[in-house]
Structure formats: C-alpha cells, structure tokens
Structure 1
Amino acid sequence: VEPCASAYRAMIEGLARTVAGMAATSLRGVKYVLVSGRIAETVKRELEQLLPDLEFHLLPVLEGAKESKHAAQGYAIVGSGLGKGPFRKLVERMKIRDACGTVLDYVLHPRLKEAKQRLVQAYVESVKNPKLCR
C-alpha cells in the first residue's frame, strides 16, 4: 500500500465534494472545470469517474513555459490576472485580492505554533500592506 494513499484519496474526495457543491449552487451553471498541476491528468481522470455529469479540462501549459514547474506557471497566471492581463477575470472570480492570512492559518497542530508565529512575523515584516485574517 502506498504510504500516502489515504491522504491522496481524501484529497480527491474533498475536491469532488467541493466541485459538486459549487456546481450545484452555481447560478449560471458550470461549463467545465479546469484542472492544473503536476498530477493534473491523474486528478482529472479520478474526478471524471466521481462526477461523470461534469466536463473536466486540463489547463494548457503556458506558451513559452514548457520547461517551468506547474507552480511557477500558476504564479504567472495569478500575476498576469492581478496585473489586468488575460487572466484578469479568473483572478477576479477566485477573489484573490480578497485573500488574507498565510498558508498555515488553518493548519492546527501544537508543534507548529512557533513556526506559524515566525511565518506571520516574516509576512508582516516583508509585505507592504499585510492582510491578516481575523
């Protein structure tokens, strides 16, 4: 048995629940769902099996970025959208400008308390207008 199989399965099931919930409550309906990332092809196949009524597409590799990491391409998409580029509507839809806090805000483990405090301190010290979640 793969060491991370249960975590992977939980991730897929969580994604399926989230996508199904969003599709069920969308006022305009869902045309398709974009899947991206290093394991996108596998995730797409899994979601297609769990949600056969929805259409899934892989986010194409950015032109000229065939050698870069998927995360770097994601950052480029967000940066483009924040800068009023071609991904502007996607960034607006995702409400990225309204985001707050850090990646560890919802990680609850007593051993991470100091790490979370250091991350918040570094964030506050390095960002011009930090947005902490309250």
Structure 2
Amino acid sequence: MSLEYAMEGQLSVKSDVYSFGVLLLEIITGKKNSVQYEDYESTTLVGQIWNLWREGKAMEIIDESLGESFSEHEVERCIQIGLLCVQDFAIDRPSMSAVVSMLGNDSTLPTPKQPAFIFKKGNYDGSNPSTSEGIHSLNDASMTMIEAR
C-alpha cells in the first residue's frame, strides 16, 4: 500500500506504481513484504533490499530457487526499477508508462531515493543500542491523541 494512501487515505496516480514495485521486489526475492524479518537489520523486505542495494550487495537477496536461470544485469536492473517505484514521495516515483519503458530498454536509470516505511532494529530513546531492542521508523512521525475535556 502506498504511503499516501496508508497515511492520508488518498490514492494518487503513483499508488499503482508503488504496488508494482513491491510486487516486482517480491518476485525477485521470493519473499513477502508484509512479513517482518527479524534476522536482518531492516525488518521489512523493501528495507532489506534498500540496504543491500546501497552496499552493492543486492544480488544476495535473489530467490535461490531461480538457480542460475537469470541474467545478473537484468535482475539488478529490475531491483533498481523496483526501488524507484517504492520511493517515499509519489512525485519521485516514475509513471507506469515510464516503468514499462525502463523494463523494455537498456537506458540509464536514475538513482532511487530512500523508500517509504524503512524500519530498523534499534532502540527508541537513543541510549545504548546493544542494551535495548525495539523497532523505530527512520521517517520521523508522532501521533497526537485528541481528547475532549
């Protein structure tokens, strides 16, 4: 679900692009985005892929059942396209027609920006991370409960 729909209940023309990006990344990895992965620094699939891509290790998360039946260049390109589709702000995401064009040709792709909903293991209060475990969002947000007097 795209960030603008999850947070504000508003669909945009880029909401389908976000969903397509998640689907593309799920197909490549053979994993679901909706499951928390406790054995990784990031607890979401998109977060894992983002971290690995930034480190130049994105090929480490490819579904093992694919064996050797793929072109590394094409898979790396699909991962980058998937990350372009799940960028935090809808305005940064490509249109679906641009995604189709990127998938169909070998042009240079832009560098993706940080995806929405990246969660990391860590602590809530900024104290020693080795002593307190928790999950916090890199996207700073707060919730205010309004109560009548």
**TM-score where L is the length of structure 2:** 0.25
**TM-score where L is the length of structure 1:** 0.26
Indicate the structure whose relative CO is greater, using CA pairs within 8 Å and at least 6 residues apart.
Answer: 2
